[in-house]
Structure formats: C-alpha cells, structure tokens
Amino acid sequence: MSQPAGTRLSATTLLMLLLPPLLWAGNAVLGRMVQGLVPPVTLNFLRWALAFVLLLPIAGWVLRPGSGLWPHWRRFALLGLLGVGSYNALQYLALKTSTPINVTLVAASSPVWMLLLGRLLYGVAISRRAALGAAFSLIGVAVVLSRGHLEQLLAVRLVPGDFWVLLASILWAWYSWLLARPKPGAEPAAIKADWAAFLLAQIVLGLFWSGLFAAGEWLVLPELPPGESHIHWGWPTAAALLYFAVGPSLIAYRCWGTAVARVGPALASLFQNLTPLFAGLLSATLLGEPPQPYHVAGFVLIVGGILVSSRR
C-alpha cells in the first residue's frame, strides 16, 4: 500500500516518522538496562501511570462525564488494550527469555503484518511497490542484525520470548490500522482534535488492562525473603520511568498517531524498522562500539525500502 493520495512526505511528517523509532530504540536499550529492577509487566504499568499523571493538567477534561469519551468507551478500551496494555508489556516480557537479535528480528515483521491486516480487515490492496519496499526494509534489518554474516541468521533459534514479540507486532499493526481507519463517528470531534486528550482517553482505559496484567504477574512472582522487594527503587529506576513515560510514551505516540493518519500504516511501519539501527547507534554511544560497514549497508536498504514505498 502506498501512502494516501494527496499526501506528501513533508519535512514535518518525516520528523514525526523518525522520532518514534529513535525514542523506541532508547526504550529498548534502557529496557534491557533495567531488567531486574522492575518486573516487566509492572514496568509497563508504572510507565503509563506516570504518563497519565503528566497528561492530566493539559487534558484532564476528557475524563469528565460530558467529554464524549464514555459513550465511545469500547473503541478507546480496544485502543488502550493494544497500545497501552499489551505492546510494550510483551516486549519487556520477551527480553527475559529472548536475545536482542531475536527480539528485533521478529519485531521487524511489522510491515508484513501491516500489509496483511490491511488486506484482510480493510480490503486494502497490496501493491508491488509496497511489497518490494517491505522486502528491502526487512533485508536491511537482517543485514544489520546478522552483522553482514548470513550464518548468524541461519543459527537463530526461537524461544518463548520471540513469540511474545510476534504477538506484540501483530497487535501493533492492528492498533495502527484502528488509528488510520476509524469508523464514522467512532471518535468525538473534540477528542480527536486534541492529541493529549486522545492519548489520555486511551491511557485511562489502557491502565485497566495493564493493571490487570500486572496483578497477574505479581501472582506468579516467586516469594522473596523478608525485607527484599521485586522492585528496586532508586534514582536509576526513577530516571528510567521518567524517560519511558515522556519519550517513548507521550512524544512517540503523539508523533506516531499523527504520522499514521497522514501516510498510512504500511508506509509508517517501514520507518519503524529504523528502530534497530537507532538502537545500534545508541549502543555504540553508550558502549563505545564504533559503526561497522554492515550498519551502512543496512541503513541504505531500509531507507531504500522507505523511498520505494513512498515514491508517488
């Protein structure tokens, strides 16, 4: 699927497509760093609870009885389940049993699910250009993750965490299509016009799901000796939660929702494949690992896939 007719990939739209993968890359790197400090599903709940608090001063009106949210609670409950309650919780959960290369490889299937769900749920034809662009993008990600050596891809073995990421990718594709193709009258005009209110409407109902999932996680957590806790509070945990709530939550979701509405889920999903490249750059900065030639090759392939799909 190419971008909607009459839509241009302007500088503003391009920025909105680039910011989310950059912030999500930081989310992945930092998410691995805080493993062991907070249980993964609980981490997702705390992240969105803090985002909820930050949005209240500017969009709290959406919670009032006459705001229009409550007559449409079913739609926002579904969006909250997919985007707030499930996606990142599944990714944090996957990092407990899967390696970063497996997680990123499976997550890179997102453009494929965007195309398939668009065809199955909305009857959107899959053009050759869109399929070719998705293929280029996937190959570029594979080049980066395999470090230019095919044998590393052939040696990949799937573990339970990979299936959690696969489920997350499918749910994210569905979430993106729900944003791009709302049913007529499904969203009150006042909420739709205010990005903060639109996001808060998803968060308030998404917190129900994420809280429910976090409660289930605590039921299966092992018992600890007296005086010990599953959550290790301190400035690293607080700083990480602040980043999770502001960067990959508020800013990224704001940009992603606007960009998907402008260019469509299929093209936007190709930009999402820049996440592993940004993650590699952040890792290089934090760990002192210099970029390699395969980074350049992968970047060229991913950007080539974006250009092929977005060219009018």
Residue whose C-alpha is closest to residue 272's, from 87, 97, 81, 54: 87
The better pLDDT of the pair 256, 162 is held by 256
Low-confidence winner among 169-178, 187-196, 222-231, 291-300 (lowest mean pLDDT): 291-300
Mean pLDDT of 45-70: 94
Average pLDDT, the chain: 82
Low-confidence winner among 6-10, 102-106, 245-249 (lowest mean pLDDT): 6-10
Residues contacting 308, CB < 8 A, separation 6+: 129, 132, 133, 136
Q: Is the pLDDT of residue 210 over 90?
A: yes
Mean pLDDT of 36-59: 94
Q: Is the pLDDT of residue 300 over 90?
A: no
Mean pLDDT of 93-112: 71
pLDDT band at 5 (very low <50, low <70, confident <90, very high): very low
Mean pLDDT of 13-42: 87
Q: Is the pLDDT of residue 145 over 70?
A: no
Q: What is the pLDDT of residue 59?
A: 94
Q: What is the pLDDT of residue 6?
A: 41
- pLDDT tens column, 26-36: 888 888 788 88
Q: Is the pLDDT of residue 309 over 90?
A: no
Mean pLDDT of 219-241: 86
**What's the burial of 198, exposed, middle or buried (CB within 10 Å: 0-12/13-18/19+)?**
buried
- pLDDT tens column, 103-137: 666 676 777 788 888 888 888 887 888 788 778 77
pTM assigned to the model = 0.81
Q: How many CB atoms are located within 10 Å of the residue 75 CB?
A: 18
